[in-house]
A and B are shown apart, each in its own frame.
Chain A
């Protein structure tokens, strides 16, 4: 089984709808992240969380909110989706305290289309 899972994998929704993207991890990492990927722009950080009580805004947090329900779960919500939020969304985890270099492990991505 994958260490970082995302649901749904694909979603088409209409403008104005609320939508939640979910991320779960079995790596035991404290740190979790949400990114979006747009063609030609690379990945940009939306929100990140160091533990269940810590939530931080990233580079492009406007229009998004997050919830860290447990160490293993980090959800991203679009309260009122708009077409320019159409993108590929990635969840990632990391734990620099385990002796590694702090690389981030990514989920498979959620392709979101807002019509």
Chain B
């Protein structure tokens, strides 16, 4: 079984600072994918970034990067130069690649608040 742990229920960060959201995972699979989603107060789920277990380089998408440490089973999201619009819930999730990501397992989320 797969499990995602997000230990930070809430975080407050000053605008323009970088922020790291923690995510650790547990799986016995060799091939898996790690995802981060953003959920603003409006409720929709927005895909941010993906890291495959065999990807050697950390994924980056604009101001988002994923700090992937396979041996430690961690997949932290780093947001550089935070903006007020980054205030939202953030969910880490994982899936088994060989099964087409049909069973996406989510963590409980971190509520990020950016302070002006």
Contacts and interface: CB of A to CB of B under 8 A. Distances in A.
Interface of A: 31, 33, 40-45, 48, 50, 56, 58, 88, 90, 92, 94, 96, 101-109, 111
A52 B64 CA distance: 36
Interface string B90-103: 01010101001111
B91 A101 contact: no
10 contacts: A33-B104, A42-B91, A43-B91, A43-B104, A88-B43, A101-B50, A103-B35, A103-B101, A104-B47, A111-B43
Indicate the member of B93, B102, B107 with the most A CB atoms within 10 Å: B102
B44 A106 contact: yes
Interface in B75-116: 91, 93, 95, 97, 100-104, 106-109
A102 B108 contact: no
Interface residues of B, number: 25
B108 A105 contact: no
A105 B106 contact: no
Nearest to B107: A42
A102 B95 contact: yes
Contact of B101 (A43, A96, A106): A96
Contacts of A102: 33, 95, 97, 100-101
Given A43-B104, A96-B100, A101-B33, 18 more contacts: A40-B108, A42-B107, A43-B45, A43-B91, A45-B104, A48-B103, A50-B102, A58-B103, A92-B45, A96-B101, A102-B95, A102-B97, A103-B101, A104-B47, A106-B37, A108-B44, A109-B43, A111-B43
A31 B100 contact: yes
Nearest to A43: B106
